Amino acid sequence: MSPVVITLLSSRNRCLLAHQESFPAGMYSALAGYCEIGETLEETVRREVAEEVGLVVDTIRYSGSQHWPFPSSSLMLSCQATVKDEELNINRTEIEDARWFTLEEVIKALQVNMMPSQLSDGTLPVWLPPKFAIAHQLIQEWVQEQKAVHGS
């Protein structure tokens, strides 16, 4: 079983979501990466965030875990993390796109069905991982925390 860290980054009132080339069109999720031998959970979070989007992690909070059998047996370890600097330096060999989303944008994306149809202008709406995925749980957790802090 391979440990994988999945991290939802936030800064102020926004969170960072990314799209990998292997994802279905329009789907965005939290950043994820395999732990290297001898690496702690925190070291993996810092390394993966730096490698994928060029940001320096400020704080890390463990959130939960989930066994993920695809493509090979992995143990997903989820974290919420904050960063101070929001200027992205996306590693295009790791991920195709990453951007900051507001609470309102995330709530809207949570309401989109999996594999949505194209909009009238030919674009696809942003949508998020399904409810059974730990990434979805991380995003929902962030939404609830934002609502509690900002009174929405």
More confident residue, 41 or 151: 41
Task: Show the DSSP H helices in 54-128 as ranges.
Answer: 103-110
What does the pLDDT look like over 53-94, one tens digit per residue?
999 999 999 999 998 776 678 899 999 999 989 999 999 999
Domain residues for the domain of 90 are 2-150
**pLDDT of the residue at 133:** 92
φ, ψ for residue 7, nearest 5 deg: -130, 130
**pLDDT of the residue at 152:** 62
CATH of the domain at 54: 3.90.79.10
**pLDDT, averaged across the chain:** 92
Query: In whole angstroms, how far apart are CA 54 and each of 6, 9, 49, 59?
Result: 16, 12, 6, 16
Mean pLDDT, residues 42-56: 97
Residues 99, 35, 25, CA angle at the centre, nearest 5°?
35
φ, ψ for residue 48, nearest 5 deg: -60, -45
What's the whole-model pTM score? Answer: 0.92
State the total domains in the chain.
Answer: 1
Query: In whole angstroms, how far apart are CA 24 and each of 4, 82, 128, 147?
Result: 20, 27, 10, 29
**Lowest pLDDT segment from 30-39, 109-118, 126-135, 139-148:** 109-118
What does the pLDDT look like over 106-124, one tens digit per residue?
999 999 877 777 777 777 8
Query: In whole angstroms, how far apart are CA 63 and each of 20, 59, 96, 137, 142?
Result: 23, 13, 26, 9, 10
